[in-house]
Chains A and B, each alone.
Chain A
């Protein structure tokens, strides 16, 4: 089974801190994605990547950046955390297309 691992289940950070959310997949998938889940808004795409060292903005990239130095790892960076970035963050990967999305278990981030 494909496994997508997010390094932290719960995080509490202070406003203004730089925050790193890590995601690792073990099936050599080309594509990786970062979403955030908020009540009433569903899953919204922040950034995605189709290859190492490439990245593309999703629907809500403001306040975020990403890094993909290795194929298996896709990091989401909050340059200066704010309270409106309190959310559930979900990483996903896929081999190709949309038929094989696999999600991690999520990181619940609270910014105080």
Chain B
């Protein structure tokens, strides 16, 4: 049973528009959340994270929002660029912070 779910396997947006990637989790013990980006033939790279004591974290064009009551987080990319085309993984950990549980990923395609 997947504890971290990304229900959209793919998303296409026009260059310059906003990309919104969604992630849901079921484990109430999760308190730290991360987004990773993966290009083909490369390993995932860390993008942005958020602790459960916050509801928003921003880094340049990337913002992550956390809704703890809904067990939902989202990644906003504004403005989207063709170089953002990649698979995005949502990940979560509990307070032990020993390991990450990943979602199934969303393939983002930004069209020029």
Please list the residues of chain A having a beta carbon within 8 angstroms of any beta carbon in chain B. 4, 9, 31, 33, 35, 40-45, 48, 50, 58, 90, 92, 96-99, 101-106
Contact = CB atoms under 8 A, between A and B. Distances in A.
Nearest to A100: B46
Interface stretch (B14-22, B58-66, B78-86, B100-108): B100-108
B104 A103 contact: no
Interface of B: 2, 4, 6, 9, 32, 34, 41-46, 49, 89, 91, 93, 97-105
B14 to A, nearest CB: 26
A98 B99 contact: yes
30 contacts: A40-B9, A40-B104, A41-B104, A42-B4, A42-B89, A42-B104, A43-B105, A44-B102, A45-B100, A45-B101, A48-B98, A48-B99, A97-B93, A97-B98, A98-B32, A98-B34, A98-B91, A98-B97, A98-B100, A99-B32, A99-B97, A101-B46, A101-B100, A103-B44, A104-B43, A105-B42, A105-B43, A106-B41, A106-B42, A106-B43
